[in-house]
Amino acid sequence: MSVTCKACGQTWPRDPALEVECPKCFSPIGSPCKRPSGHGCDVHRERDQRALDEGKLQRCSAAAQKPPPSDQADLFSSGARS
């Protein structure tokens, strides 16, 4: 599951947020986040923040110069996760 920053174009082979456990849904390292129903969901913001705090991810300087879309406060500047 690769991820690409739409602001700068940097691509990671695996979402850096998956390098830490999710503090919201407790998905382990390497596993995607889950809703309480057990169905998959996007990576929780809290997991992105933990990846930042632990140095697994760095804020994109290009994304910092753009305001995030009003419906998305994504650290990847509305980056595409695939």
Query: What pLDDT digit, counting tens, does each position of 16-71 carry?
Result: 999 999 999 999 999 999 988 878 888 999 999 999 999 998 888 887 676 655 54
Residue 40: which domain range? 1-82
* Extended strands (E) in 1-82: 3-4, 11-12, 80-81
Domain count, the chain: 1
Beta bridge partners of 20: none
Query: Which single residue is written with the structure tokens 């382990």?
Result: 28
Q: Are 51 and 20 in contact (CB under 8 A)?
A: yes
Q: Position 59: which residue type?
A: R
9-25 pLDDT per residue, tens: 889 899 999 999 999 99
